[in-house]
Every structure is written in structure tokens, then in C-alpha cells.
Amino acid sequence: MKEEILRHLCKSLGKDAAHSSVHDWRVALSLALRDRMVDHWFRSTRETYETRAKRVYYLSMEFLIGRLVEDMAANLGLVEEARAALTELGQDYDAVVLNEPDAALGNGGLGRLAACFMDLLASLGIPAYGYGIRYEHGLFKQDFVDGRQVETAETWLTQRNPWEFERPEVQFRIGFGGHVDHHDGKAYWHPWETVLATAYDTPVVGWQGKWGNTLRLWSARPASKFDLESFNRGDYLAAGRSEALARTISRVLYPDDTTEAGKELRLKQEYFFTAASIMDLLRRFLSDHDDIRELPQYVAIQLNDTHPAIAGPELVRLMSDEHNLPMDEAIELARRCLGYTNHTLLPEALERWHVGLLGRVLPRHLEIIRAIDEDQQARHPGSPRILEHDHVHMGELAFIMAHKVNGVSALHTELVKSTVFSDLHRIHPTRIVNQTNGITPRRWLHTCNAPLSNLITREIGDGWVADLEKLKALNQRTGDREFLDAFSAAKRQNKTELADWIAQTCGIAVDPDAMFDVQIKRIHEYKRQLMNILETVALWNEMRDAPDAEWTPRVKIFGGKAAPGYHVAKQIIHLINDVARVINNDPVTGDLLKVVFPANYNVTMAERLIPAADLSEQISTAGKEASGTGNMKFALNGALTIGTLDGANVEIREHVGSENFFLFGLTAREVVERRHVHGYARAAIEASPRLSRVLGQIADGQFSPEDSSRYHGLVGGLYDHDYFLVTCDFDSYFDTQRRADQVYRNGSNWAAMALRNTASMGWFSSDRTIRGYARDIWQVDAVDRAGLE
Ligand code: 26Q
């Protein structure tokens, strides 16, 4: 390893060890690790090719990967070797690892899920490709200026990316706009502009390095530096046009995690990567099959939400326009290849495109979508329309073009059946299935939490890393005082390290013995960070009223970004920072209560915070969070959850036991009923002196003396249209928090409950999730190559 690192430093980077920076060492180490992956990777590709195995294609606009060095080293079993090599070379391994920028090619849950799936597909030996966009700028960087969120461009690619292989020979021409000619019963699309999609491949090697898949990300290039044909015709503008489009199309990730109404560039991004991926997989298929009708036997395509839903019409277009299949047969063939995962019920997040826009950008696809719509009507008269009110509904399109549609938690799937897709569900009663989300135990326990991970391995061996259900064995230790102490000590160590980091990055001193209460996720009204900060103020009030009472010291930790155009979410950030400033400087409460909100929450920060959390905040309005995956990461790392009956919380509670979960709040059904009660929010506020007091303080400017009306709008909104029922759940949330306080004060009981959580979370490995997809949707075999030689 030492020699390989030195060789890369010299031969690949052209650097002399004596004059190398941390960055150089990190790139050299990454290249050395990548070398070790390549053999596994080639072997897997060869085997898939030779056995003509069915391949899975996971299409996702987002892959929220984070850092890779530790992950790759862990999967290859090379962590100790790498550490030793760098140490012998006089370098600090930890500093080298920290030098890597996060690959933040995603907004949140959906993108992180795609990254976890890539790990599991490789670990289970399923031949698979992830397809996405190689954004030049990932999710924006967040700073706070006077408590307000300020965004700047993220720059992960300004440094060399050592993991990827550029594939200049893999290129597809992607057309946009223009017109369609019809003659002799055939359609000919003449695009107005064209860009080239070129591939960058990152090898993804699974646990113990036995199998490797490819994450192929597309980057846009001008179709030719100066489109010669147009230039010769004297059409200088056309020649420049494709160059301008190529420069923007893979430039930046859209930072909204709910649909932003009909942005043309977004539609072009979606088509760009979907079309390139479909062309690529068809080319691969046709290189060793003659009959395109066999496609469904060899290809399973999974759509991560509707973002790649244009894959349906694109497949139909290629099969009918280029391979001359009849339209209805093309539709049926495409359907047998496609699966669609729904991640949201929020009406504003369901993608729809104006027909004018879609027809302008993709004229042939609009014709095909109309044909799909007619085909569906002919087979199922009265079926919901894909095209309605001048809009193309991507959810309906994805549903109709997929042979299976899945929700991401049991509750969510039931709601998918009974709400957004109820009519389609009636027509296709076996199409919707559930696949509860999961997380990779490698990143989210083994790598991110060394103290706990080592303790578990000492106790039950290391088999749990590949088979998380083995954690169940820890249930026998919940009465073992010595083991509980060791379990608490591991948590304590993580908390001490986090406290040091908080002191350094935020300048706030926190007590590692206080309860670390963490809410980290995108800032959204439905996720109710607002309720959390209101409860914080209420607690502060009561501590000040009786500072000598028996309190449980707390550190409230927040992390998360708001979409740049989401005004209310940005106000909530501002409020949290304003409240933090006041509370953290209050000598009366002192160490009893601190509020910490480090800027720029990302995967790396999650890896730091989750192992150190005592309490996990999963407090969304019931029925709104499709699943959540952060909730799983916390419980696995021995945090107790305070949460509503929403998304996967329901299943987590069933697995860990209701006595080890702090439940509060209205159910999804009660939420819907309550909204029908006239003036429900005002009534809830008036019935709660505690909440009225807090809202009064915020509205009066107690936390924003320099601008006392700053939160009039936010507080007024709660009185008048508290759509997410912060007011209705507030008292029950506050009381449940106090119950958590009491349990925490009795430390040993808390530790036993936390251990039950860790021990019971095996089912939430994405191992189980991927096996479910393989069995119910893709019809491929999971071969456990991790255990094979
Ligand atoms: C769509 C169109 C235009 C611009 C942006 C978007 C867009 C981008 C990202 C819409 C939605 C998203 C992301 C959604 C998401 O992350 N959903 C989460 O998915 C997780 C994995 O299934 C669930 O656990 C979460 O509950 C769900 O919120």
C-alpha cells in the first residue's frame, strides 16, 4: 500500500513526497484504493457478460454519496493497511480522510437512498448500473450571516475526482426541440439542438470487495465545438446554441426537494440523463441479443421517483421509431422493464409539465405520451388521464408505464393506494407494492461509529456487518450491567468528540453529560423544525421560572438546508438562530440548555452527529413523511426516537417495541379530520397557556430585538392556517419530551432502551430492501457474493 501510494503520488500526480500537500496524499491514497477495486470490478463485469445475467438499472437524478475514502477502504478491508501506510509515510490518516470533499449530488433522502442502494446492489452481487448526472456543482453550501441562510456554489469538482474514469468513447447525441415529420406511417424527429452525453464511471465495490458495479454519471458536452453542419449553412446562432445548452445542462443540481413549477432546464436535465441511460442500456443489450422483444428478460429499470419518468416514452420512441415495433407492443414491452418508486404524497411535489413546454422541448415524446394515454383509455375506459388541464402528469405517466409501483414504507404505500393513485390502484390492484426503505450498515454504523462498532464486534463477532439481523443477539445483554456500561461509554465517547467539534466550529461549550437531542434533515414545514424550536423556548421559560427544579440538561442540535426560494423555511432557520443566540447567552439557564445549529449540514456532518445522539427527532405531521431514513440511522446507533406515527417510524416502533419509543401526536387519520374543524389552530393555541406564551414572546420580538416584527408573519401563519398542525401536536410533544427527561435522568434504564433500539434495527438494512426489490419488482437473484471467495 505504501509503495502504491508513493507511486501514484509520483506517477499520477507528478508530486514529490517531500512537497506534497494533504490533498495530494488523499488523491494518491484514493487512486491506490481504486486500483484494488478494478480487478473485482472487471471480474464482475465479465461474469455478468458471460452469464448474460439480467441487469438492474437504477435511474436517479440524485446520488448523495458523501465521502468515499473510508467507505472504499472499509469495503475492501484495507482501513488498517491504509492507516499504517500513511502513518509510516509520516502523514496523519484522519487528516487525509477529512480532506475529501463531499460528493453532494443530491438534496436529501431520495439521493441518499440511491447511494445506499448502490452499496447493497454490489454487496448482494446483483449486476447493476446506477445512472445519474455528473453535476459540476452539487447541493449549495450553506452559511449563516446574522442568522440568515446564505447560499454559495458548491465546488467538489474543482479538485481532481480520483474515483471516476472518464469514458470519452461512450457518447450519445441527445436532441431537444425541433419538429416531427410523419410519412409512410413512420415518425421522424428533427431536433433543433443537440448535446452530447459523455460517461464518467465510478466503480462501486460491495462489502468485502467480492462484486463491483458501476455508477455511470453523464456530463453534457457541445455536440461539436462548432456544429459544422449549421456553420456551413451559415446558421451561426444554431452552432452556438448547442454549446450554450451543453454548458448549462449538467452544471448544477436543482436545490429544491419539492417540484419547482415547470423549469425548462430541469426538464432538459431529466431528459438528458434518462435518454443517455436508455440508449446506453439498449446498446449494451443489442450487443449480445438480436431480438429487442427479449428486453424485459434481461433488463430491469427502476425510476427513482418521477424525475426519470420520460424513460417510458423514450423507450417506446426507440422501439417504435428506430426498431419498427408497433406502438402498442412497444408500450407493453417498456412496461415490463420499468418500475417506479414514489417518494412523496405532497401535492406540490408531484411533477407536472405544461403541454406547451413539453411539446416544445420534446415534440415526439408528447405525441407518444398522447398515444400511451389513448392506449390506457382503450384498455381501461375512464382511467385517470396522463394529460389533463394542459399538463402532463408525470406520476400518472410513471404509474401507467410501470409494471410495479412502490411506496417506501408500509404507511406511505397504503396512502399511495388510498390517495394520489386511488383510481389507478382500483384499475391495477396488484401493481402497487411496498418496499420499506433501508440504510447501509457499513456507512451508518460500521464506519461512522467506531466505538460502538468495535464493542458489538467484541461481543458477537463481526458477522453483523454483512447480516445486520445478527444484532438481535444483543437483546440478551439488556440486563447485563457491565455491557450496558460499555454501551453507554461508547456513546459518551462519541458525545465528547462531538462536543469538541461543536466548540471548534460553533464556539459553543456543551456538556457531554447533557441529553443530545438532534433534528437533522431538510428544513420543511411538514418536518416541523418550528415545533421543535417552540418547545425549546417553552422549556427555557420553565427552566427560568424554576431554575432550581430537577431539570435534565439538554443540547438541542439542528442541522439542515432550506431550498433557496422557500421563504417560510428560511424564516424558521432564522428563528432557530435567533433563539439560540438568546438562550446560549442566558446565565440563568447556563449549561441546562444550549441550542446548536452548525451550518452546512451534509452527509459528513450526519456521520458525526448520529453516533453522538441520545434523542432522535422524527416529528413530521403524520401522513407527510414518506418514510424517512435518518430515523433508521439514529435508532441503529442507539438513540431513542421521539416521533409521530409517520412513515417508517411506525415500523421502527414495532421493531424496537413501543416501550422503547417516545410516541406523541395525531395519527394520519386524525390529521385529516382535524383540518375540517373550523379554527382548529386558534383553539389549540388558546387552550395551551404554554404555547400562547411562547408565540407571544416570538411575535413581540424577544428573540429579535433589532427587528421586533420579524416573526409576525410566521406566528400569524400559525394562528390562521397551521396546515401542518404544529399547534395541535404541541402540548403532547412537550409532555412527551418531559417524559424523555425523566427516563434520561435514570441513566441505566435509558441505556437498556437504547440498546434495544440498536439490537432491533437489523430489519432496516437496505440488504432487506434490495432483496425485496429483486424479488417483487426486478425478478433477479441476489447472490450473496460477500460470503464467497
Ligand atoms: C423535482 C422537480 C424539480 C425540482 C426538484 C424536484 C425534487 C427533487 C428532490 C423533488 C423531490 C426531491 C426529493 C425528495 C425526497 O428526498 N424524498 C424523500 O425520500 C426519502 C427516500 O425514500 C424518504 O425517506 C423521505 O420521506 C422523502 O421525503
350 CA to centre of ligand 1 in angstroms: 10
108 CA to centre of ligand 1 in angstroms: 7
Residues 423 and 384: beta-carbon distance below 8 Å: yes
Assigned domain for 178 exists:
no
Assigned domain for 554 exists:
yes
Assigned domain for 646 exists:
yes
What number is the ipTM of this complex? 0.99
* One domain, residues 417 and 499: no
Of 669, 256, 204, 223, which Cα lies nearest the Cα of 440?
Answer: 204
For residue 784, pLDDT beyond 90: no
* One domain, residues 15 and 89: yes
* One domain, residues 447 and 431: no
Residues 724 and 624: beta-carbon distance below 8 Å: yes
* One domain, residues 421 and 456: no
172 CA to centre of ligand 1 in angstroms: 28
For residue 391, pLDDT beyond 50: yes
Tell me the best of 117, 252, 258, 346 to mutate to test the pocket of ligand 1, counting ligand atoms within 8 Å of each CB and taking the most. 258
* One domain, residues 721 and 584: yes
Q: Closest residue (by CA) to atom 15 of ligand 1?
A: 110
- For 209, what's the count of Cα atoms within 13 Å in the CB-facing half-sphere? 18
Q: Ligand 1 atom closest to Cα of 106?
A: 9
227 CA to centre of ligand 1 in angstroms: 37
**pLDDT tens digits, 716-764:** 999 999 999 999 999 999 999 999 999 999 888 999 999 999 999 999 9
**pLDDT tens digits, 158-204:** 999 999 999 999 999 999 999 999 999 999 999 999 999 999 999 99
**pLDDT tens digits, 490-549:** 999 999 999 999 999 999 999 999 999 999 999 999 999 999 999 999 999 999 999 999
Assigned domain for 233 exists:
no
Of 469, 391, 424, which Cα lies nearest the Cα of 767?
Answer: 469
Q: Closest residue (by CA) to atom 12 of ligand 1?
A: 257
CA distances from 397 to 386, 419, 424, 431, 658 (A): 6, 17, 11, 14, 40
**pLDDT tens digits, 33-90:** 999 999 899 999 999 999 889 999 999 999 999 999 999 999 999 999 999 999 999 9
* One domain, residues 606 and 721: yes
Tell me the best of 63, 64, 107, 391 to mutate to test the pocket of ligand 1, counting ligand atoms within 8 Å of each CB and taking the most. 107
Q: Are strands 432-434 and 404-407 parallel, antiparallel or unpaired?
A: parallel
* One domain, residues 463 and 381: no
Return mean pLDDT, the chain.
96
Assigned domain for 185 exists:
no
DSSP 400-444: HH-SEEEESSHHHHHHHHHTTTHHHHHHSTTTEEE----B-HIII
645 CA to centre of ligand 1 in angstroms: 20
What is the reported pLDDT for 231? 65
Sheet-wide strand order for 404-407: 165-176, 193-205, 212-222, 128-133, 55-59, 299-304, 338-341, 404-407, 432-434
The whole-angstrom separation of Cα 483 and Cα 746 is 17
Q: Ligand 1 atom closest to Cα of 647?
A: 26
Assigned domain for 162 exists:
no
Cα torsion at 460, 462, 466, 468 (round to 10°)? 30
The whole-angstrom separation of Cα 767 and Cα 758 is 17
Q: Ligand 1 atom closest to Cα of 62?
A: 9
Domain membership of residue 757 as a residue range: 441-764
For residue 227, pLDDT beyond 70: no
Q: Ligand 1 atom closest to Cα of 113?
A: 21
Assigned domain for 226 exists:
no
Q: Closest residue (by CA) to atom 13 of ligand 1?
A: 257
What is the reported pLDDT for 789? 35
For residue 788, pLDDT beyond 50: no
* One domain, residues 309 and 458: no
343 CA to centre of ligand 1 in angstroms: 6
Of 721, 717, 624, which Cα lies nearest the Cα of 671?
Answer: 624
Residues 209 and 37: beta-carbon distance below 8 Å: yes
* One domain, residues 537 and 594: yes
User: Which residues are catalytic, by number?
Assistant: 343, 521-522, 527, 629, 633
784: number of Cβ within 10 Å: 16
* One domain, residues 409 and 556: no
139 CA to centre of ligand 1 in angstroms: 13
What is the reported pLDDT for 781? 86
Domain total of the chain: 3
* One domain, residues 368 and 458: no
Q: Ligand 1 atom closest to Cα of 111?
A: 16
Q: Closest residue (by CA) to atom 6 of ligand 1?
A: 259
DSSP state of 398: H
* One domain, residues 529 and 381: no
Q: Looking up cell 421493531, which residue turns up? A: 655
Of 108, 132, 120, which Cα lies nearest the Cα of 59?
Answer: 132
The whole-angstrom separation of Cα 175 and Cα 139 is 27
Q: Closest residue (by CA) to atom 8 of ligand 1?
A: 257
110 CA to centre of ligand 1 in angstroms: 5
676: number of Cβ within 10 Å: 7
The whole-angstrom separation of Cα 292 and Cα 333 is 9
Q: Ligand 1 atom closest to Cα of 341?
A: 22
Cα torsion at 64, 69, 75, 79 (round to 10°)? -150
CATH of the domain at 645: 3.40.50.2000
Residue type, position 674, single letter: R
CA distances from 522 to 147, 439, 457, 511 (A): 17, 18, 33, 26
Of 588, 595, 587, 585, which Cα lies nearest the Cα of 532?
Answer: 595
Residues 174 and 272: beta-carbon distance below 8 Å: yes
- Lining residues, ligand 1, CB within 6 Å: 107-110, 113, 254, 256-260, 266, 343-344, 349, 351, 408, 437, 625-629, 647
Assigned domain for 120 exists:
yes
Q: Closest residue (by CA) to atom 1 of ligand 1?
A: 259
CA distances from 125 to 48, 112, 301 (A): 10, 20, 17
Share of the chain above pLDDT 70, in %: 98
